[in-house]
Amino acid sequence: MVLLSLAWKSLRNRLLTTSLTVLSIGLSMALLLGVENVRVGARESFANTISQTDLIVGARGGSLQLLLYSVFRIGQATNNVSYESYLHWKNHPAVSWTIPYSLGDSHRGFRVVGTTEDFYQHLRFRRDRQIQFAAGRSPKDVFDLVLGADVAQSLGYKLGEKVVISHGIAAGRGIADNDHKDKPFTVTGILAKTSTPVDRSLYIQLEGITAVHIDWADGAPPMPGEETPAAKITKENMKVEQITSFLLRCKTRMATLQLQREINTYPEEPMQAIIPGVTLQELWRTIGYAEDALQVVTIFVILVGLLGMLVSLYTSLNERRREMAILRAIGAGPGKIIALLVLESGLLSLAGCLLGVVMIYGLSVIFQPIVEQQFGLYVPVQPPTATGWIYLGSVVVAGLLIGFVPAWKAYRNALADGLSVRV
């Protein structure tokens, strides 16, 4: 106890060096825990985005690409799927439900998704949560449109507002020439927040996608005056010919694997079916290398912090020659001296760890909404994970061990060293 209070007082005596050391360890600890938090958060966010979907089906290509554009709205499809093939699988006896997606248009940087009522009925996230409406209802007519929560918030649109969607998915404002100006949509609903990429899209009917492209030929908009007037377009006379991909739920899990094989070898059209959980696992394995590299960097940052502590303790010994000598003169044995210095370094690293935890909590609370808004990544504010505790424990242990270096020096110094005047 005496040693502890002695160590504490000695640290307090050198307040500036102590706090700088604690700060450097704290910062590096916050970095390590932050990287871990983001890693866990990203995995949970991604896994929570899609639930109860057995297969994602699209044109044959990369499985990861199919997952990314269908679920996370990242990247784009190289090929579409014919509506006929979609109907074939939708009516397959093993299939419970499907959600078709037609992608490729946007509105002020947000993607426009053509889909059907099935999307609002069947899509599940976070295990069993369903899409809810904050206001209004799902689109019923060709030119009805529903806003994701983030879209409604950042663009400030209200129910009944007219929205013009653009051809293509260029970021920012759509290319003016490619606006589907002649066929504006009316906002009929706003979705409740889901904290998934669902929040960052606009939703219309599949027929709506067909309607805006009806007079387009060779990738160019119709000449002025040649457009089919919006009034003439009804849901019934719009024929959907293709979609981008679809989500599918089977009646049984055993049928899933069978259906996956059937779709992958469908002779009518080259298609592929992926199991989202499996493809996500492939994604993590790919990203794993980058994560490992980041982890190595943060571990080095921690090492630098600990080395800084070693340097400060070691150099302080010169100033503390007299202190050590007095301690020994009044009866403190070499063991006590060693214990004192080890305790000091242990306390420093413990304080650094605590500061790191506090910092990461504070930063998480401040930045959580911003990260969620910007990247759709929900990083939970939670106590350190098992790995986090292991890091914290190892840094404290490393701190104690490092304390032995200055302790050894102090022990080796002769008793008379601090009492005599150095020349």
Residues at the contact surface with another protein, assessed by CB under 8 A: 51-52, 54, 127, 252-254, 256-257, 265, 267, 270, 275-278, 281-282
| Least spacing, CB of residue 260 vs another protein, in Å | 8
Question: Would you say 255 or 294 has its CB closer to another protein?
Answer: 255
Residue 417, CA distances (Å) to 136, 403, 412 in order: 84, 21, 10
205 within 8 A of 182, measured Cβ to Cβ: no
Residue placing its CB nearer to another protein in the complex, 111 or 122:
122
- 205, β-bridge pairs: 115
User: What is the helix (H) or strand (E) element at residue 367, kind and residue range?
Assistant: helix 334-375
Do β-strands 144-147 and 124-125 pair in parallel, antiparallel, or remain unpaired? unpaired
Torsional sign, CA 131, 133, 139, 140: positive
Please provide the distance, in angstroms rounded to a whole number, between the alpha carbons at the two ends of the chain.
37
Decide whether 254 or 390 has the Cβ nearer to another protein: 254
Residue with tokens 């505790």, as numbered in its chain: 389
In the complex with another protein, the residue whose CB is nearer, 254 or 415, is 254
Cβ closest to another protein, residue 275 vs residue 377: 275
- Residue 192 CB, shortest distance to another protein, in Å, is 23
Residue 379 neighbours by CB distance under 10 Å:
21
Report in angstroms how near the CB of residue 111 gets to another protein at its nearest. Answer: 25
Cβ-count burial of 421 within 10 angstroms (0-12 exposed, 13-18 middle, 19+ buried)? exposed
Closest approach, Cβ 282 to another protein, in A, equals 7
Helix (H, G, I), strand (E, B) or coil at 423: coil
- Closest approach, Cβ 95 to another protein, in A, equals 15
What gap in Å lies between CA 243 and CA 83, rounded to an integer?
A: 6
Give the DSSP letter string of 229-266.
Answer: PGGG--STTPPP-EESEEEEEESSHHHHHHHHHHHHT-
Question: How far is it, in rounded angstroms, from Cα 122 to Cα 97?
Answer: 7
Nearest to 230 by CA among 169, 166, 141: 141
The CB-of-253 to another protein minimum distance in angstroms stands at: 4
Measured from the CB atom, the residue of 259 and 353 that comes closer to another protein is 259
Nearer to another protein, 130 or 252 (CB): 252
CB of 204 or CB of 271, closer to another protein:
271
User: Do the Cβ atoms of 248 and 275 come closer than 8 Å?
Assistant: no
Distance CA 129, CA 127 (A): 6
Distance in Å, CB of 263 to another protein, minimum:
13
Nearer to another protein (CB atom), residue 254 or residue 358: 254
With a CB cutoff of 8 Å and minimum separation 6, the contacts of 360 are 29, 30, 33, 34, 37
CB 195 → another protein: shortest distance, Å?
20
For the bound state, the minimum distance from the C-beta of residue 130 to another protein, rounded and expressed in Å, comes to 16
